[in-house]
Amino acid sequence: MLKIRKFEEKVARLIKEGKIKTPCHLYIGQEAIAVGVCSALKKQDYVFSTHRGHGHYLAKGGDPKKLLDEILGKPTGCSGGRGGSMHITAPEVNFMGTSAIVGGSIPLAVGAGLAIKLRGEKERVSGAFFGDVATDEGIFWESINFASLMGLPVIFVCENNLYSVIYILRRGKQECLFIER
């Protein structure tokens, strides 16, 4: 948890100094969730994440140097410097990627769960991290229903930070509202 917190604090400093240009969604305050879940997983288990994926990546065993290089847009980054903060991967530890689409990790984890079942890999699971607002998406309900009906080895991890964000258009101008859940 401390490694994740220190990493995120460093990223926040680099943002303030203007050294990071890509949008970043920090994982500060949720470190225990990623560490708790990933410590129960095995290396062969798959993890799919959200736009706040730094903590999941690090907890699953991703390389902090490669992650920072990715955020800085360097070719030595975990996604070759092309994904930035919200599109990170580490296939070598079965961290299959992050998605900037709300709920985007959920059907990917279910698809991996189906592949696991079809291949008969009884010692492997697939996990999806997602925020509480993803439960408002149809893909959430469709995915958990399909996973249940098919008996798929999928772990759904809802990280409820008690806030949702809604963008509205008012008088031709986009505004952001934070809604407490």
Closest CA to 9 of 59, 64, 61: 64
> Tokens at residue 28, please?
């500060």
Question: Collapsing DSSP states into helix, strand and coil, what is residue 156?
Answer: strand
Residue 171's pLDDT band (boundaries 50, 70, 90)? Answer: low
List pLDDT tens digits, range 153-165: 999 999 987 655 5
Closest CA to 1 of 24, 30, 25: 30
Closest CA to 25 of 55, 47, 3: 55
List pLDDT tens digits, range 48-100: 999 999 999 999 999 999 999 999 999 999 999 999 999 999 999 999 999 99
Half-sphere exposure of 143 (CA within 13 A, CB side): 26
CATH number of domain containing 14: 3.40.50.970
Indicate whether this model's pTM tops 0.85: yes
Spell out the residues 6+ positions from residue 88 whose beta carbon is closer than 8 angstroms to its own: 49, 53, 54, 57, 62, 67, 70, 78, 79, 95, 97, 98
- pLDDT at position 124 is 97
pLDDT at 174 over 90: no
Question: What is the DSSP annotation of 70-104?
Answer: HHTT-TTSTTTTSSGGGS--BGGGTEEEE-SSTTT
Give me the residues paired with residue 168 across strands: 175
What residue numbers bound the domain in which 114 lies? 2-180
List pLDDT tens digits, range 7-62: 999 999 999 999 998 888 899 999 999 999 999 999 999 999 999 999 999 999 99
The count of domains in the chain is: 1
- Inter-axis angle of helices 64-71 and 2-16, nearest 10: 20
> Tokens at residue 46, please?
């798959």
Q: How far from chain centre, in Å, is Cα 141?
A: 18
